[in-house]
Chains A and B, each alone.
Chain A
């Protein structure tokens, strides 16, 4: 087993997903199949090989720090599930 039922439940919590016991069991099986396939990578000696995070050699482009137009507030709030016209409304946090 690469990943246990308990670990899957923990990862679901990290990912902010609520899984049923059936879903957790099914995903445990599927993730084990997939992770077993990943073992293949351990056949390769990669010591000293740099990581590729980006396929092209683009350096971080910079622009002048000037104010630019962006979305108007009403546009930004247009898809809000709950808003008071000024802000997004969320359930009480504190």
Chain B
């Protein structure tokens, strides 16, 4: 039996019956990491000693009959999420040696539930990108095809869960950064409703869009992780006080009578035929399970990309002003240099090309004389996009669509064309603009053997509906049970 591909439920049972110790499971995972990392590069930091210590503590809790849902379950955390005492780089030179003095709230919750942290996952620098090629420490490779990108920005997290070098992972999604890599790596990824999971301890990219969420190999595993990380955090004023439901209980609800909306704009010309066939196949399967299909329209979809690439860079340029060489991170101080020299040298040498591009774009969009034309206009069109979803959700319970317009492309294919790269997120980013929950789950493979994902979007706080639909689909399909030959 391959321990690294157990489900969380299977591992839980073996651990609780004492047929397997958390230390043995963690050792197996560290061996898997050692075997797969030379080809994948999914991790930026592996915390082997700490993981084994956490596993030993987990074994004591299990022996005492005090195990929580994730006690002894090994996982990885995206390197944009602060972990006390463990280097958190955001895949950037500017934070290469940054060691956070505190845990992000979601990490504290996972530790309290017993997670064993294996390490920190690779990503696009500051979560800006769609391929993980913007990591200052080198790209992650797709476990299904090492020539392919894993998606991004949470590419390390998705690749690692697919390759069995983590049972689950937590990433962040600002415009598709959980769903798109989940789709490309054949795993399940969920961006919860904005405010469902605390953002305290996430290094901010675009504060009105950022949201953390889980990756797992099945919807059932995903629900276990969501249950732990969801909930109000008094220290994050944008986190929601809405009560957290029992997500596990929602899994078995089925789809009978649910109305699934197909947005006609997301199935328009230009969609890759293999992606369309796989997504339509999944929708037909859901119809077979009793769901009702309705066509809906999101008439302002075409404007989502422009709105996103004004708002996200604007917020990023403001958030990244904190990297000034004073409090933490890289600080380049020339002999007899001025304060201004320190700012200029530190930032231009610390940030990579995509981060500089977005800081420049955002600074321009917010600068005197251009604010109304760009940021002001984008905020208004964001309202129109939000209203599109409100109208659509009056006609359906969830929206189903592709996640990405094509299967994973090759490494290097789009690095020189920012606009082409940005188009990878065309189906995912409107969800963030409207603050909605969105899930990606495996629904097929291209002829080249690269995974394809189905996206399910719901109204605010409809995570239970997404889990019910996803779990029902995984009951009649086996795409999520396929494993890469790695």
Contact = CB atoms under 8 A, between A and B. Distances in A.
A31 B208 CA distance: 23
Contacts of A30: 357, 418
A75 B381 CA distance: 43
A55 B309 CA distance: 16
A41 B381 contact: yes
Contacts of A55: 194, 208, 386, 432-436
A90 B342 contact: yes
Given A38-B374, A50-B383, A81-B325, A3 B364 contact: yes
Contacts of B234: 63
A51 B380 contact: yes
Contacts of A86: none
B327 A38 contact: no
Given A15-B363, A91-B338, A58 B240 contact: yes
A49 B383 contact: yes
A17 B383 contact: no
A11 to B, nearest CB: 5
Given A15-B317, A37-B306, A90-B339, A52 B377 contact: no
A12 B101 contact: no
Interface string B315-351: 0010001001111111101000111111111011001
B468 to A, nearest CB: 22
Contact of A88 (B309, B326, B378): B326
A49 B377 CA distance: 10
Contacts, number: 162
Nearest to B461: A56
Contacts of A16: 321, 324, 340, 343-344, 347
A14 B368 CA distance: 11
B382 interface: yes
A80 B415 CA distance: 34
Nearest to A24: B360
Interface in A5-47: 7-8, 11-12, 14-19, 23, 27, 30-31, 33-35, 37-38, 40-42, 44, 46
B360 A15 contact: yes
Contact of A18 (B326, B345, B367): B345
A54 B315 CA distance: 12
B101 A78 contact: yes
Contacts of B344: 16-18
B357 to A, nearest CB: 6
Contact of B309 (A38, A53, A80): A38
A82 to B, nearest CB: 7
Interface string A61-94: 1010000000100011011111000001011110
B98 A79 contact: yes
B379 A91 contact: no
A34 B330 CA distance: 30
Interface string B189-200: 000011100000
Nearest to A12: B360
Interface of B: 97-99, 101-102, 193-195, 208, 234, 237-238, 240-241, 300, 302-303, 305-307, 309-310, 317, 321, 324-331, 333, 337-345, 347-348, 351, 356-357, 359-361, 363-364, 367, 374, 376-384, 386, 418-419, 422, 432-436, 460
8 contacts: A11-B367, A16-B344, A18-B345, A38-B309, A40-B303, A41-B306, A80-B326, A93-B339
Given A17-B359, A27-B360, A90-B342, 11 more contacts: A3-B364, A16-B344, A30-B418, A31-B364, A46-B384, A50-B380, A55-B208, A79-B99, A88-B327, A91-B341, A91-B342
Interface of A: 3, 7-8, 11-12, 14-19, 23, 27, 30-31, 33-35, 37-38, 40-42, 44, 46, 49-56, 58, 60-61, 63, 71, 75-76, 78-82, 88, 90-93
